[in-house]
Structure 1
Amino acid sequence: MPRAKTHFIVFRADASIKIGSGHVMRCLTLADALAAEGCVCHFLCRDLPGNMMARIAGRGYGVTALPAPTPDEERSLKSAGPASPDASWTDVPLKDEIAQSREAITRLTPDRVIVDHYALDARWETEAVPRGIPVMAIDDLADRTHVCDILLDQNLGRSEADYDGLVPGSALRLIGPKFALLRPEFAAARPVSLARREEPHLHHVMISMGGMDADDTTSQLLDALTVMAKGAGLPEGLELSVVMGNMAPHLKSVQARAASMPCPCNVEVNVEDMAALMSSVDLAIGAAGSTSWERCCLGLPSLLLVLADNQRPNADALVNSGAAILLGDSRQEDWSMILQGHLQRDATHNRLREMSLAAAKLADGGGAARVLAQIRLRWNQMRPADLNDIDLIWNWRYGNHAERFYRSPHVPDLGAHTSWMVKALSDPLRDLRIFCHAGQPAAHIRFDIAPQDPAVAEISICLSGDLRGQGIGQRALGMAIMDPPPGVRLLHAEVHRDNVASVRIFEKLGFRQVAADGDFYRMKLRLNISRNQTAI
């Protein structure tokens, strides 16, 4: 009997000085939720300055490093001129990105691909991902098409209609901050954090401009606060906590400024328990990106700076909800004066309380669980065959003249097939399975274990005639190979030479021809269950 299926999920996301760390961090949150369900998660990441591959590996996930951009690729991308400000975020031409990703994904044969990348769209999802592998797209922009079965946009103010014409009509759209991908510690810290804000005060301020802060906005903030201290003054007894990643290019200069601040200022690097830190502070000065939902979950009032154009809609929506105050665009010069005005005028007990209550209504920390539940409903499943499958398997095996590809061209009647299957289901040397796609039976997988050597088995597959040509066969066979009968380490297969599609599927999954017997190829695969590839 087959063991419980371990689903294998591949994420495509990058972190870099230019991109920041937010995309990888929220994918890690989803990966943690999937791993808790028994899934195996693996990341495809471009080797870019500021990448987080070491951190991903440190969390226990496999990583495939896509090659660093070559000088020729960088020149080609620059000369082509990106179609949008984010289209160059992979730093290689799209054709190279597709070819490299497809090689890795084909080799890994995942059950699902999750892509979180502003530079990638429907072309990548159709050309880099082999047919039959479902794709989930995480987006914030609603500015390009996707070929996916699940679309996640966790931003406030977004609606399902924003993706009309951009995703297939059948795609599930998970929209709004109730689906925000937050680590479990935020939901756990929420009650204590909200309780301490019932009597708000302003003693502790957190500054968080993203893990990379490529434009060194943090230093500008510290300079503005230093000027305030010399003039109108900072609130009495104020303490600052600055949050940065260890790959931030301006980390050392921020640390130097913090040491000379007129008030206590701690620089926290690679904070492991962000929920605890956020729960301890009274106000955040932050970017209007994905960390907004962490602050909202904990009822933390915010002063927002827009660091990039794609953050503007989210910032406006947060301000309109009453959860935050907008300082402006970090690339403009007047925001420091606005900051001074808000700290002196709006950081009152009542104003902080109002913002805290408004923020807490937007996100409750349960988004990752909600997203996981929807993925769970849509993943492929393998189950043991049973007596209810007798007619189904007979129709698949002998429908559309499929018998021409078997050793025996004889088609047994349903009664003879029933007698065979009743015996097979109780035979310890046979393992019969049904592969379900999108909740429906789609293929039959059969293992025949060698009586003389239980480490060897022959594998065969028959597919519903209605689903041929959609990549389902490769998905079914790949899933079975990753979960063989206990003890089996060598697989044999017989494939008719005229069954070209099946030959290709077996070859893609690593089988190699070892002999020919009349019209049949004898193929073999030695199993290696480990999938923690490190480079292509």
Structure 2
Amino acid sequence: MKEIIIRTNFNTKVGLGHFFRCKILKEKFEKKNFKVTFIIDNITKSKLTKNINILNLNQKRFNYLEDSKLVYEKIKNRDVCLILVDDYRIDFKWEKIFVKKGYIVAIIDDLANRKHYCDFLIDSGWYGKKKNVERYSKLIKKNTITLYGPQYKIISPKIKRIKKKEFNIMFYFGGGNYLYSYYEIINDLVTKLKLFKIKVKVNIVVSGLFNLNKKINNNNKHVNIIKNNYELSKIINDTSLYIGSNSSIVNDLSYLKTPRILISVNKLQNINIKNYQDLGNYIYIKYPFTQSLIKITNLIIEAVNNFSRFKNLFLNPKIKIDKNGADRIVKILIKKIHG
């Protein structure tokens, strides 16, 4: 059986977005009778890695030359037909080593901040049709096959449009400790629940880095603290209003047309709002936010109390996202594998 290698890196604190989109691709490849193996720096034992083939490099620091040697030693005697890379640390120097050895190399990127030497470059972001191409024009080989744009968004098959039984507000700021910076919003909102015209439930998704239980009265029946839950599909499906980081979770929300208030937690998440509006992202708070966070609380209350009007903003985006992005990527890569 031919094997596909996925070189990425993650743990329960960082890199989860990379892991989940690679996991979706893994499942698609396996349905096409390919063996799929992840190569990561160090194995993270958790529910995340159940039923996943993993090769562990046992390395603490990344050096492209040492890493490439370790990876090659792992795969040189295997029937590898594709190396798929989703790792911001890897650039053309690493990639070129494997291309020269005859491997097909596909890169998933969204930063456009480094050169690549690969057969395929996948970036599902939207920066305007012309800008999508220009971002990488000086960063890739002329014969690199490029898969640009929202038609290649990778959406989990577990994301589904359902009828919601109650009004759920979801707070999520990623797997790191960004919640520290925005805790004031949540704290203020919890004290103002009586200002909502409808009954709401506040779901706060936190990582193990932030002990929210000590800061918020967990006996409040309207507040649900969700800790160390890395499979968020059900929570996303049930969400009526999302407040949180401008990360990969926005793809799922865009597909569901879920109303959202996006907050960039770092400079990498800052975007061109004009292009982002094409995808239905109309309310966006740029990093750093220098005004009082209480203003965001007031915005949330107004959005909920006028929700029938508010949700209409998100129903008909200029560019629609479907659930076929992963299938499109897999189909194109397999066609290359079969020559």
Q: Which has the larger radius of gyration?
A: 1
Contact 2:278 2:318 in 1 (8 A): no
Contact 2:278 2:319 in 1 (8 A): no
Alignment of 1:297-312 (within 5 A): 297-312=255-270
Instruction: Say whether residues 1:204 and 2:171 are aligned partners.
Output: no
What is the SS of the residue equivalent to 2:313?
A: helix
> What do you get for the CA RMSD once the two structures are aligned?
2.9
Instruction: Say whether residues 1:27 and 2:1 are aligned partners.
Output: no
Structure 1 counterpart of 2:209 = 249
Instruction: Say whether residues 1:226 and 2:190 are aligned partners.
Output: yes
- Deviation of 1:7 after TM superposition, in Å, equals 2.7
1:339 corresponds to which of 296, 304, 325? 296
Cα 1:235–1:107 shift into 2, 3 Å: farther
- Deviation of 1:299 after TM superposition, in Å, equals 1.0
TM-score for the superposition, normalised by structure 1: 0.57
Gaps of 5+ in 1: 1-5, 70-90, 381-438, 440-536
For residue 342 of structure 1, what is the amino acid of its counterpart? L
Contact 2:218 2:224 in 1 (8 A): no
Cα 1:164–1:239 shift into 2, 3 Å: same
Alignment of 1:178-189 (within 5 A): 178-186=151-159, 189=160
Structure 1 counterpart of 2:116 = 146
Structure 1 counterpart of 2:49 = 57
- Deviation of 1:31 after TM superposition, in Å, equals 0.7
Structure 1 counterpart of 2:199 = 237
For residue 211 of structure 1, what is the amino acid of its counterpart? G
Off by >6 Å, runs of 4+ in structure 1: none
What is the SS of the residue equivalent to 1:137?
A: strand
Structure 2 counterpart of 1:168 = 141
Contact 1:178 1:364 in 2 (8 A): yes
- Deviation of 1:112 after TM superposition, in Å, equals 0.4
**1:363-405 Cα distance to aligned partner (Å, 9 max, x none):** 111111111111121114xxxxxxxxxxxxxxxxxxxxxxxxx
For residue 311 of structure 2, what is the amino acid of its counterpart? R
2:281 corresponds to which of 323, 328, 341? 323
1:374 corresponds to which of 312, 324, 332? 332
- Deviation of 1:64 after TM superposition, in Å, equals 1.2
Structure 1 counterpart of 2:3 = 8
Contact 1:155 1:314 in 2 (8 A): no
Cα 1:165–1:341 shift into 2, 3 Å: same
Contact 1:301 1:359 in 2 (8 A): no
- Overall identity of the aligned pairs, in %: 20
Distance in 2, Cα, partners of 1:271 & 1:356 = 27
Instruction: Say whether residues 1:96 and 2:66 are aligned partners.
Output: yes
Cα 1:332–1:349 shift into 2, 3 Å: closer
Using CA pairs below 8 Å that are at least 6 residues apart, which structure has the higher relative contact order?
A: 2
**1:209-258 Cα distance to aligned partner (Å, 9 max, x none):** 1234455356444223235459xx4554221112345xx322xx123335
Distance in 2, Cα, partners of 1:258 & 1:314 = 35
Distance in 1, Cα, partners of 2:232 & 2:257 = 14
Gaps of 5+ in 2: none
Distance in 2, Cα, partners of 1:308 & 1:107 = 42
- The number of equivalent residue pairs is 335
Distance in 2, Cα, partners of 1:106 & 1:279 = 42
Distance in 2, Cα, partners of 1:184 & 1:360 = 23
TM-score for the superposition, normalised by structure 2: 0.86
1:105 corresponds to which of 75, 81, 84? 75
**1:173-231 Cα distance to aligned partner (Å, 9 max, x none):** 11122211112122xx23x46xx6xxxx993201121234455356444223235459x
Instruction: Say whether residues 1:67 and 2:58 are aligned partners.
Output: yes
For residue 311 of structure 1, what is the amino acid of its counterpart? Q
**1:29-68 Cα distance to aligned partner (Å, 9 max, x none):** 1111111211111111112xxx64544530x221111223
What is the SS of the residue equivalent to 2:333?
A: helix
Distance in 2, Cα, partners of 1:12 & 1:53 = 17
Contact 2:280 2:318 in 1 (8 A): no
- Deviation of 1:293 after TM superposition, in Å, equals 0.4
Contact 2:187 2:216 in 1 (8 A): no
Structure 2 counterpart of 1:127 = 97
Distance in 1, Cα, partners of 2:136 & 2:110 = 11
